[in-house]
Structure 1
Amino acid sequence: MKLADMLSYADIGQLSRIASTYQCECNGNSKNELIQSILSTVNRREVFEAQIGALKLEDLRFMNSLLFDARDAFSLEELVARVQQSKFGNAEAQQGASAEKRAEETATAAPAGKKPAAKASAAKRTAKSKAAKERPEPESGPRETISRFKQYGWLFNGYAGPERYLFQVPSDLKERFKQSMERRLTSEVVYADEEPHAYRDEQMLMGEDVSQLLTFLHLHEVPLASDGTMYKRTVLQLLELFGVKESLPGKGEWRFGYGRKIKDYPNRLSLIYDYCYYQGWIAEYDERLELTSSGKERQALRTTEGTDKLYRFWLRLYKGPVPNIRSLVHWIDKLGVRWVKSETVMRTLTPYVKPFYYDQPETILEQRLIGMMMHLGLLRIGDHAEHGQVIRMTPLGRTVVAGMSLDDEAIVLNS
């Protein structure tokens, strides 16, 4: 439902709180006047943009997680979990503490003639700190965040039956949020006016290599080691046949969470292997890797696997370690409508990427998202004389990303 519809179902108490938030001047006893005044105020672009601009990073992450969810309604418990997931750590607090510590060190190291002023300043800071400790802190937990979003008119309870316990974001506000976020993010990146002198484009290559893997198993006996992996010599033979060459993972390299075979094979090969395994085309029998009956049927077709199917699988497989992968792909798609400096995209989107164990946000963006999107044929990576590395979505990538409606369930491949 749209905002106007949700306001019409809201009780006068909630309408009054929303009107108070936006400082609407109207008859507080008239539901119709409250609704009209709220709509008039919220629909003003400068008011809406000001509200978005005042949000903390955690609030933006929380709202971002709701915008790209296939579901329309969320329970209170789900919203609380989303708010908690939006807090990636105390990095900002630590930065503030470090700045305060540096200021104190500077004051302590001041020249002799300045010590009285430094001491007075330090005493003043101590007094402020003591007063702050004595003053009760306002509640800032998940429920307070949800309550605040309700006061903004961004979240509404259902109005009847079981739905009254569920929360929804007005559909028209979802689009306005996306447009506002797009303007905000686009303003933070740098675009290239000219084409790069060279770029990599792997459209359709992964789909061809799915067929190549099945044909390889059809023509060769592939033994497996005791841990269920192909021997290094076999992997190298397979990589030579693929349209994209990859290096083997380094010894002791930290690799898990991004698929069943990510720990054993290079990123791209791992995705292809896991895809064929998930489709039921390959199986590991008695230390041998073989085609199944359905795998033999698929191999006999000798057709290229569709990019949309591989993209769907990749999103669901990587959803575990990167819960907001759909929103990140959406923003990469929007920022990459033309050649854009890769470094600025990384800097702009890193705050929205949660670390996954030893994988830092920069690594996740560069290797797990941008790198894999290139392998899937969704974007190109180029070398620009002025801007260094640049990226741009391919026509195929823009079509695939825009056309997907995916199941929310993440894929988990057990060993």
Structure 2
Amino acid sequence: MNLADMLSYADIGQLSRIATTYQCECSGNSKNELIQSILSTVNRREVFETQIGSMKMEDLRFINSLLFDPRDSFSLEELIARVQQSKFNKTDSAQQKADTPERPAATDGKKPAKKSKKTPESVTESGPRETISRFKQYGWLFNGYAGPNRYLFQVPSDVKERFKETLGKKFLSQAVYAEEEPHAYRDEQLIMGEDVKHFLDFVYHNEIPLTSDSAMYKRSLIQIMDRFGVKEDFPARGEWRFGYGRRMKDYPNRMSLIYDYCYFYGWLSEADSLLTLTPSGKERQAMRMAEPSDKLYRFWLRLYKGAIPNIRALTYWIDQLSHKWVMSTSLQSVLTPYIKPFYYDQPETILEQRLIGMMMHMGLLRIGEVPSKGQVIRMTPMGRSIVAGLSIEDDAIVLN
């Protein structure tokens, strides 16, 4: 539902609190007058942009996590967990301006709405509940109005779109674009899909022994990767590697994704210390077809979601900011504040290796080099269509 619909279902107490937050001048006893006054204020562009500009980083992360969730409603427990996930460290708040206002300043000099005597005061809880209460007072979160939905929270559909539009403008103003085309760039469109086919062919035609941990020996791995269209370095001995798939600890990044993809779909068997194809794997191998890029992308999103909870939001912003050649350094400065460290993986590493690097391997973006400027990236036409048109399950994949 849109904001106008949700306001019509809200009780007069919540309407009065929202009107007071926006300093609307209207009667606090008239529901219709409250709704009209709120809508006329909220729909003004400068008011919304002022709100975005005054939000703390943890609040921006919180709302950003809700914008790209395919679900329409959230429980209180889910919202509390998201607020907690949005607080990366104790210095987040200190990084904001000391004079950040708690509510948008009046833009027309009018007096705030008069509260009715029955209107409850604003909730002054601390922690996640205070954040949720504040978002309700801004009209960004609403309780359901009937049945079991009354205990769930929703973000108005049009408010979601306005957030995306306003955040997009903010990010675009911070991005730096190359004035010239790179002389050469790396583009791997459709190659990973072909390599899935090559991998299944190799397993079908060869006997591949496994270690006690069900990993392939290096000799077999080298033979497989020699058939691939993209070469990768092997992980360094003792290198920290987990959280991005079942075989991340054993194989290079791209190879690990291909292996886990085939394993997830039930095409591989690791029984009796041998890697073989299952009956469904043999059927897939006999098709002799490359794997579609959009299926690989869907799998990657869900597999990496455990380590990068807001991966869908980050891929959306990478797509939006890379419509033309953008400097990698500026992309990093815009997006790393929204990336939570994952154990020893810092935000810069996650963006460079887990996101941009893997998106390039899947053919979603190109990486080039501009003389005197450094690395630049740009989405491919295929990548833009895949990211823009995607609708997937939200549960993370865990391969045990």
Same fold at TM > 0.5? yes
Partner deviation per Cα, 1:281-334 (whole Å, 9 max, x = no partner): 111121110011111111111111000000000000000000000000000000
1:51 to 1:190, Cα distance in 2 relative to 1, 3 A: same
Residue identity matched to 1:238: I
Are residue 283 (structure 1) and residue 283 (structure 2) matched?
A: no
Residue identity matched to 1:149: F
Are residue 203 (structure 1) and residue 189 (structure 2) matched?
A: yes
Partner deviation per Cα, 1:250-300 (whole Å, 9 max, x = no partner): 000000010000000000000000000001111112111001111111111
The one of 149, 163, 171 aligned to 1:185: 171
CA contact (8 A) 2:22 2:41 kept: yes
Q: In structure 2, what is the equivalent of residue 117 of structure 1?
A: none
Residue identity matched to 1:61: R
Q: In structure 2, what is the equivalent of residue 173 of structure 1?
A: 159
Are residue 273 (structure 1) and residue 259 (structure 2) matched?
A: yes
Q: In structure 1, what is the equivalent of residue 362 of structure 2?
A: 376
> What SS is found at the alignment partner of 2:222?
helix
Are residue 389 (structure 1) and residue 396 (structure 2) matched?
A: no
d(CA) in 1 for partners of 2:222 and 2:149? 55
Residue identity matched to 1:13: G
Partner deviation per Cα, 1:157-181 (whole Å, 9 max, x = no partner): 1111111111100000000000001
CA contact (8 A) 2:58 2:92 kept: no
Partner deviation per Cα, 1:84-120 (whole Å, 9 max, x = no partner): 1100012346879xxxxxxxxxxxxxxxxxxxxxxxx
Are residue 299 (structure 1) and residue 285 (structure 2) matched?
A: yes
Q: In structure 1, what is the equivalent of residue 202 of structure 2?
A: 216
Query: Structure 1, unaligned stretches of length 5 or more?
Result: 97-137
Identity %: 72
Residue identity matched to 2:58: E
> What SS is found at the alignment partner of 2:377?
strand
Q: In structure 2, what is the equivalent of residue 152 of structure 1?
A: 138
Partner deviation per Cα, 1:8-55 (whole Å, 9 max, x = no partner): 111111111100011101121111111000000000000011011110
Q: In structure 2, what is the equivalent of residue 13 of structure 1?
A: 13
Q: In structure 2, what is the equivalent of residue 69 of structure 1?
A: 69
Q: In structure 1, what is the equivalent of residue 29 of structure 2?
A: 29
1:95 to 1:72, Cα distance in 2 relative to 1, 3 A: closer
d(CA) in 1 for partners of 2:246 and 2:56? 37
Residue identity matched to 2:12: I
Q: In structure 2, what is the equivalent of residue 161 of structure 1?
A: 147
d(CA) in 2 for partners of 1:151 and 1:30? 18
Partner deviation per Cα, 1:187-229 (whole Å, 9 max, x = no partner): 1110112211110000000000000000011111111122211
d(CA) in 1 for partners of 2:333 and 2:288? 42
d(CA) in 2 for partners of 1:257 and 1:272? 16
> What SS is found at the alignment partner of 1:191?
coil
Residue identity matched to 1:80: I
Query: Structure 2, unaligned stretches of length 5 or more?
Result: 97-123
Q: Over alpha carbons, which structure has the higher Rg? A: 1
Are residue 248 (structure 1) and residue 234 (structure 2) matched?
A: yes
d(CA) in 1 for partners of 2:201 and 2:79? 47
Partner deviation per Cα, 1:368-403 (whole Å, 9 max, x = no partner): 000000001000000111421000000000010011
Q: In structure 2, what is the equivalent of residue 125 of structure 1?
A: none
Q: In structure 2, what is the equivalent of residue 260 of structure 1?
A: 246
How far has the Cα of 1:70 moved from its partner? 0.9
How far has the Cα of 1:139 moved from its partner? 4.8
How far has the Cα of 1:140 moved from its partner? 3.6
> What SS is found at the alignment partner of 1:187?
helix
Are residue 226 (structure 1) and residue 212 (structure 2) matched?
A: yes
d(CA) in 2 for partners of 1:75 and 1:359? 30
What is the TM-score with the length of structure 1 in the denominator? 0.88
Residue identity matched to 1:85: Q
d(CA) in 2 for partners of 1:225 and 1:169? 50
d(CA) in 1 for partners of 2:93 and 2:32? 44
Q: In structure 2, what is the equivalent of residue 312 of structure 1?
A: 298
Are residue 354 (structure 1) and residue 358 (structure 2) matched?
A: no
Partner deviation per Cα, 1:104-141 (whole Å, 9 max, x = no partner): xxxxxxxxxxxxxxxxxxxxxxxxxxxxxxxxxx7541
